[in-house]
């Protein structure tokens, strides 16, 4: 049986570089950093005092006071990104299409901000003052559920959690749902809002996060020899996927085609990647095989590129394992150099960036690349955007637990 082809028809984003796709994309190509001192709380008492926060996000203006109070920040990000993506797609959901449309939005952590806030209420004011909305605010599937409720989408409704590979897994699995004919439309992606003292302290005590507090804009420096850890970010990325037949029938504008998906496990360590890069390499190989591509077909890789010493070295090794001599002809850049690590939303936003790269022909830079690392020896598009009109792009996402995901997109040039 022929599988349905899957295309991207709508994009939405809430990020540290802007609360819509055009603003975010302009900032990425300009090489601007979204990292700054933390403003959401007083961080003076902890070692990590910088983050890539979403700025000027007003949920009351977007949703009204009553609705804004009923959702965690991560759900509000997802709902706004989904609204943008659906509007961008031009879809109109009649009753038949509602039945054939689903939602798959993941998160690594879920509503931790609501949990922490209500725990403080419990301690200071007692159990009766805890919000009756706490459970639906903190549950990880809240974003998927609320987007489906908003638009009446009655198809598959799922949430995934695979640490920092979550957003990529959500998009890949949403594509599989369309491919096997269980939906014609999927609203999918990832969302995260975990900038809180407890989370920062936990990552800081692991030694995973940058403490370059005096130079926040230079703190995230993937593949650079002086990298000292990732920078925590927040936000959401959502895209609308459709079967090609449905998109063509309604005359939709098509951004790109999602042609391949690979998912593997390192089965090695709960936080550290396999130092040989085997799991990451296998995910890329699976995505290429799924797409019917060979390594030489790929022009650009949006790297996981966290700015941690081990991850960047291992990802470089994995890329060389898969692409061999062609690795020297690849453009490889890290979105995290500018917007930090969006955790469960990272893979979704970075997949969206790959789609924009294919649509526009521009590759954004890896900023803060100043000191080459001999163990990171690829073309990381240092510090300045590049026009190169790639035909095929991969998006890599790897997460704690040994989760690996790779998405392959191709430029849309018609049937």
SS (HEC) of 215-257: CHHHCCCCCECCCCCECEECEEEEEEEEEHHHHHHCCCCCCEE
Structure pTM? 0.98
CATH code: domain of residue 264: 3.40.47.10
Q: Between vectors from CA 87 to CA 232 and to CA 139, what angle results, nearest 5°? A: 45
Is 361 a member of any domain? yes
Domain of 145?
6-249
Question: Domain ends where: 198, 227, 249?
Answer: 249
Question: Domain ends where: 211, 227, 249?
Answer: 249
Specify the number of domains making up the chain: 2
Question: Domain ends where: 222, 249, 276?
Answer: 249
pLDDT at 387: 97
pLDDT at 414: 82
Residue 30 shares a structural domain with residue 109: yes
Question: CB–CB of 394/298 below 8 Å?
Answer: yes
* Catalytic entry in 164, 188, 354, 406: 164
Residue 11 shares a structural domain with residue 56: yes
Residue 244 shares a structural domain with residue 290: no
With residues binned 3-state (H G I as helix, E B as strand, rest as coil), the percentages for the chain, rounded to 5, are 40, 20, 40
Is 254 a member of any domain? no
3-class DSSP assignment, residue 143: helix
Which CA distances in Å does 246 have to 4, 249, 290, 347, 409?
10, 5, 22, 26, 19
Q: Between vectors from CA 11 to CA 258 and to CA 152, what angle results, nearest 5°? A: 100
Radius of gyration of the chain (CA): 20
172 alpha carbon, distance to own chain's centre: 12
Active site residue 164: yes
Residue 181 shares a structural domain with residue 213: yes
pLDDT tens string 313-341? 999 999 999 999 999 999 999 999 999 99
> Which positions ≥6 away from 330 have C-beta within 8 Å?
298, 299, 300, 301, 319, 323, 378, 379
Active site residue 71: no
Q: Which residues pair with 15 in a beta bridge?
A: 18
Residue 224 shares a structural domain with residue 274: no
Residue 186 shares a structural domain with residue 265: no
Question: CB–CB of 105/170 below 8 Å?
Answer: yes
Residue 202 shares a structural domain with residue 315: no
> Which positions ≥6 away from 94 have C-beta within 8 Å?
none
List the one residue out of 389, 394, 391 whose CA is nearest residue 405: 394
pLDDT tens string 294-320? 999 999 999 999 999 999 999 999 999
Is 1 a member of any domain? no
Model confidence at 149, pLDDT cuts 50, 70, 90, reads: very high
The Cα 415–Cα 409 span in angstroms is 15
pLDDT tens string 156-198? 999 999 999 999 999 999 999 999 999 999 999 999 999 999 9
Residue 38 shares a structural domain with residue 139: yes
Residue 30 shares a structural domain with residue 68: yes
Which CA distances in Å does 237 have to 74, 261, 319, 354?
11, 18, 25, 12
Around 325, how many Cα atoms within 13 Å sit in the side-chain half-sphere? 0
* Catalytic entry in 71, 169, 246, 341: 341
Active site residue 403: no
Residue 201 shares a structural domain with residue 283: no
Number of neighbours of residue 271 by Cβ within 10 angstroms: 13
Q: At residue 218, does pLDDT exceed 70? A: yes
Model confidence at 15, pLDDT cuts 50, 70, 90, reads: very high
């Amino acid at each position: 049986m022929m599988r349905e082809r899957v295309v991207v028809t709508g994009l939405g984003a809430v990020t540290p570089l802007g609360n819509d796709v055009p603003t975010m994309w302009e900032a990425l190509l300009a090489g601007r950093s979204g990292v700054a001192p933390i403003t959401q709380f007083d961080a003076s008492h902890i070692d990590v005092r910088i983050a890539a926060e979403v700025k000027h996000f007003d949920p009351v203006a977007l949703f009204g006071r009553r609705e804004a109070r009923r959702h965690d920040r991560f759900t509000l990000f997802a709902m706004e990104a989904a609204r943008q993506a659906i509007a961008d797609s031009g879809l109109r959901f009649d009753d038949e299409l509602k039945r054939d449309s689903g939602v798959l939005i993941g998160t690594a952590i879920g509503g931790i901000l609501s949990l922490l806030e209500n725990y403080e209420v419990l301690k200071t004011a007692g159990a009766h003052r805890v919000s009756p909305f706490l459970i639906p605010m903190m549950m990880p599937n809240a974003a998927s559920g609320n987007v489906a409720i908003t638009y009446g989408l009655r198809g598959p409704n799922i949430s995934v959690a695979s640490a920092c590979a979550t957003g990529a897994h959500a998009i890949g699995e949403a594509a599989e749902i369309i491919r096997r004919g269980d939906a014609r439309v999927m609203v999918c992606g990832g969302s995260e809002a975990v900038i809180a003292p407890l989370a920062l302290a936990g990552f800081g005590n692991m030694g995973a996060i940058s403490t370059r507090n005096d130079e926040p804009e230079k703190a995230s420096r993937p593949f650079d020899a002086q990298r000292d850890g990732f920078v925590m970010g927040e936000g959401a990325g959502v895209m609308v996927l459709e079967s090609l037949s449905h998109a063509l029938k309604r005359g939709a504008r098509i951004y790109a085609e999602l042609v391949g998906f690979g998912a593997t496990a390192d089965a090695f360590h709960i936080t550290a990647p396999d130092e040989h890069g085997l799991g990451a390499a296998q995910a890329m190989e699976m995505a290429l095989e799924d797409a019917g591509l060979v390594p030489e077909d790929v022009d650009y890789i949006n790297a996981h590129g966290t700015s941690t010493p081990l991850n960047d070295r291992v990802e470089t090794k994995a890329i060389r394992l898969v692409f061999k001599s062609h690795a020297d002809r690849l453009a490889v850049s890290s979105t995290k150099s500018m917007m930090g690590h969006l955790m469960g939303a990272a893979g979704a936003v970075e997949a969206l960036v790959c789609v924009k790269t294919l649509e526009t022909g521009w590759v954004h830079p890896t900023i803060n690349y100043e000191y080459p690392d001999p163990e990171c020896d690829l073309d990381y598009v240092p510090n300045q955007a590049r026009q190169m009109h790639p035909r095929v792009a991969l998006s890599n996402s790897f997460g704690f637990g040994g989760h690996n995901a790779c998405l392959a997109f191709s430029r849309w040039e018609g049937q």
